[in-house]
Chains A and B, each alone.
Chain A
Amino acid sequence: MADRSILGLFQEAEPAADAMDGLAQAGFEAGTFDVLTGTPYPEGAFGEHVPQHRLFRFPAFGAIIGFTTAILLTAGTQIAFPMVTGGKPILSLFAMIIIVYEMTMLSAVIATVIGIIFESRLPNMNPGAYDERITEGWIGVVISVESTRAQEAESVLKTAGALEIKHAS
């Protein structure tokens, strides 16, 4: 079980990509090491493990919940208090559509936001090794390893040109 988080800091992208290559070649499992940047880079730029996600399920799930709730709410309340207004039927489908539409969309948006946060693996209260300079343009290559392989990981990072190494448990 990985118990140490080691961060190599780079000022340029190329050596950071070299470090990622080096870690892969040294046999560290994909997914245990990652690159941290202050801005999005093109996907795969560092040869990193391409993240898979299930974000698209969230809005669908949210929409279903919103739709069902809205149908129950609009139909239920009108049946519970059946007062004819404007000569319209008690269950006025076309008026219901508007409310149902809004509630479906609202629910889908809320679910999407939950999905984005969840799939981003947030909130993360124990983020491991990190450096504030990453949001100033430095690039961090971070790896979670067992203590026994910490030395090896650190050496790969240094060989690639890491300017600094930081540790966290």
Chain B
Amino acid sequence: MATNSALAGQATAPESHAGHGSDAGHVVLRPADVKTTLIASTTAGARGFKRWSIVLGVLTIVGIAGIVLKAVQSLDDQTEWGYTAAIAAFLLTVGGGAPLVAVAPVLAKANWVRPLTRLSAAFSLMGVVTIAIMVPLVAVLPPLVTEGARRRSIWFESPDLTPHVMIFLAMGTLLLAGLGLFYTSAMPDFAAMRDHSTGWRRNVGKSLARGWVGSTVQWRTLRMRIGMFGTFYFLVLIYTHFVFTSDFAMGVVPGWRDAIFPMYHSMSSIQAGVAVTIIAAWAARRYLGLQDYLRLDQFWSLGRLLFATSLLWVYFFFSAFIVFWYGRSLADIAWVDMFIRGPMIWAFIPGMFMSFLLPWWWLIWNRVRTSVNGPTIGAVIVLFGLLLDRMRIYVSAWSVPPEQIHERYLHTIPDTVWPDTFDYMIIVGALSAAALVMLLIFRVIPIVSIWQTQEYQLLSKPVKYLRGHGVLVAKPD
């Protein structure tokens, strides 16, 4: 206490500064309670879990059936796969972006994010579902040389099937990086499961903890690995969006040259990642009773992030739009006709409302942000908006007949493609499969990181400052 005489000797550590169940202020939790409560969360709500996993499992099977039936019916017709591409893009956007919530604020030494790191990192494992959906899409994607001529591509003179291979390489690496981030930061908790849970969870903990005892060297290595995996994950995510957007959207539309598009896609990924983290945190509070762990502070901070990313979303959108709108070359006009006022205007207008206008107007209010339900409602709106936006882009792009692929610009704007039964089955199945993956993960490992919560308890201390109260928050170098 070299710098601050007013604080000297006045640090207090009451049992619960704010009281149990209160969302405001700081709550002091005992390390043993943290461990017990969070380990218990893996078994909490067993009946609900069983019911939901059956429902989601059945819907996943429906989705798989949808893909198989669609493949049987139209594996040779690219224009039939727009909605599948859209749902793949949606899952990549959501699942890919969420782990950044675990990375960026940590680098900025934000303590509020600690209870959310596990949750957000786990979303990267949704990549399993995305990769599975990519299989039929890759099968219908035209090769680089079509009808005797080479089409526009970021791969230029590379072998014919480069995009087909590269997307799996990119998504596979992304999944592995996400797994690395998730697993590395979960090792101390697996050790906790090994030491304090029972049955098969104990065995899983034993084998995955890999001899974790919490030595100084292990902790140092852990922090280093989290930093490395976090940075690596971010770079691979940007690369994956770059490959996905250029090969599975821009590449199939003649004359569409849009350098910002990969960044627009990545930006919406961050927005959606924040949104889905909010929703998952809300569900964890509601169904796993983690009110003392996922508190107002988390929702408030995520609400601000969601607000900021919604503004950035519209900025990236407008940056592209204004260039096309002003440009008025034939390719520019075709872009506006195709993606804005064209066949998917029914998705564009509500998408714009739900990705930007509504969340902006909703989250601008401090009272909304400083609540648990406010940011959650905003997050649901954003995710619906994102789904519509991905449909706008991918359904339009994939509806272009492949024979036009060599044109300098799009001469004929295709008609609206509406989803058929198989599309509905695929969309519902994909979303259910992704939710099922998340549900299963948190039966194995606590949804809130035990060690991060305990560390936060160490690093923060309620203090009395003269006549006021505050929290002293340590920021280790």
| A touches B in complex, CB < 8 A | yes
Partner of A14 from B318, B328, B466 at Cβ < 8 Å: B466
Write 20 A-B pairs (CB below 8 A) sorted by A numbering.
Answer: A12-B5, A13-B466, A14-B466, A17-B467, A20-B467, A21-B467, A42-B468, A42-B470, A44-B468, A44-B469, A45-B6, A45-B465, A45-B467, A46-B466, A46-B467, A47-B468, A94-B321, A94-B325, A97-B318, A98-B322
| B 204-239 contacts with A by CB, 8 A | none
Chain B residues with CB under 8 A of A88: 326
- A 28-49 binary contact with B (CB < 8 Å = 1; else 0): 0000000000000111111100
List of 8 A-B pairs having minimum Cβ-Cβ separation, nearest first: A44-B468, A47-B467, A45-B466, A45-B468, A17-B466, A42-B465, A42-B468, A13-B6
Chain B residues with CB under 8 A of A87: 328
- A 67-98 binary contact with B (CB < 8 Å = 1; else 0): 00000000000000000001110000010011
Task: Contacts A21-B467, A47-B467 given; indicate if A14 touches B322 (C-beta within 8 A).
Answer: no
B211 to chain A, nearest CB (A): 45
**Contact at A86–B326, with CB atoms within 8 Å?**
yes
Interface of A is mostly: loop
| Complex-state Cα separation, A21 to B465, whole angstroms | 15
**Contact at B467–A86, with CB atoms within 8 Å?**
no
For chain B, the count of residues having a C-beta within 8 Å of the partner chain is 15
Chain B residues with CB under 8 A of A97: 318
| Complex-state Cα separation, A82 to B318, whole angstroms | 26
Q: Give residues in A with beta carbon < 8 Å to B.
A: 12-14, 17, 20-21, 41-47, 56, 86-88, 94, 97-98
Q: Give residues in B with beta carbon < 8 Å to A.
A: 5-6, 318, 321-322, 325-326, 328, 366, 465-470
Chain B residues with CB under 8 A of A47: 466-468
Chain A residues with CB under 8 A of B5: 12
| Complex-state Cα separation, A41 to B116, whole angstroms | 31
Chain B residues with CB under 8 A of A17: 466-467
Chain B residues with CB under 8 A of A43: 468
Q: Which residue of chain B has the shortest Cβ distance to A60 in the bound complex?
A: B364
Chain B residues with CB under 8 A of A41: 465-466
Chain B residues with CB under 8 A of A94: 321-322, 325
**Apart from A44-B469, A56-B366, A94-B321, what 5 extra A-B contacts exist at CB < 8 Å?**
A14-B466, A45-B467, A45-B468, A47-B468, A88-B326
Chain B residues with CB under 8 A of A13: 6, 466
A77 to chain B, nearest CB (A): 19
Question: Residue among B6, B465, B466 with the most chain A CB within 10 A?
Answer: B466
| Complex-state Cα separation, A47 to B469, whole angstroms | 10
B324 to chain A, nearest CB (A): 10
| Complex-state Cα separation, A14 to B465, whole angstroms | 10
**Contact at A86–B468, with CB atoms within 8 Å?**
no
B88 to chain A, nearest CB (A): 31
Chain A residues with CB under 8 A of B6: 13-14, 45
| Complex-state Cα separation, A142 to B468, whole angstroms | 20
Chain A residues with CB under 8 A of B328: 86-87
B12 to chain A, nearest CB (A): 15
Chain A residues with CB under 8 A of B469: 44
| Complex-state Cα separation, A13 to B318, whole angstroms | 52
Chain A residues with CB under 8 A of B322: 94, 98
Chain B residues with CB under 8 A of A45: 6, 465-468
| Complex-state Cα separation, A41 to B466, whole angstroms | 10
Chain A residues with CB under 8 A of B466: 13-14, 17, 41-42, 45-47
Chain A residues with CB under 8 A of B468: 42-45, 47
Chain A residues with CB under 8 A of B467: 17, 20-21, 44-47
| Complex-state Cα separation, A117 to B240, whole angstroms | 49
A82 to chain B, nearest CB (A): 19
Chain A residues with CB under 8 A of B321: 94
A71 to chain B, nearest CB (A): 17
| Complex-state Cα separation, A87 to B333, whole angstroms | 12
A56 to chain B, nearest CB (A): 8
| Complex-state Cα separation, A44 to B466, whole angstroms | 8
| Complex-state Cα separation, A97 to B356, whole angstroms | 15
Q: Which residue of chain A has the shortest Cβ distance to B366 in the bound complex?
A: A56
Chain A residues with CB under 8 A of B325: 94
A36 to chain B, nearest CB (A): 15
B248 to chain A, nearest CB (A): 28
| Complex-state Cα separation, A88 to B333, whole angstroms | 12
A141 to chain B, nearest CB (A): 13
A51 to chain B, nearest CB (A): 14
Q: Which residue of chain B has the shortest Cβ distance to A101 in the bound complex?
A: B318
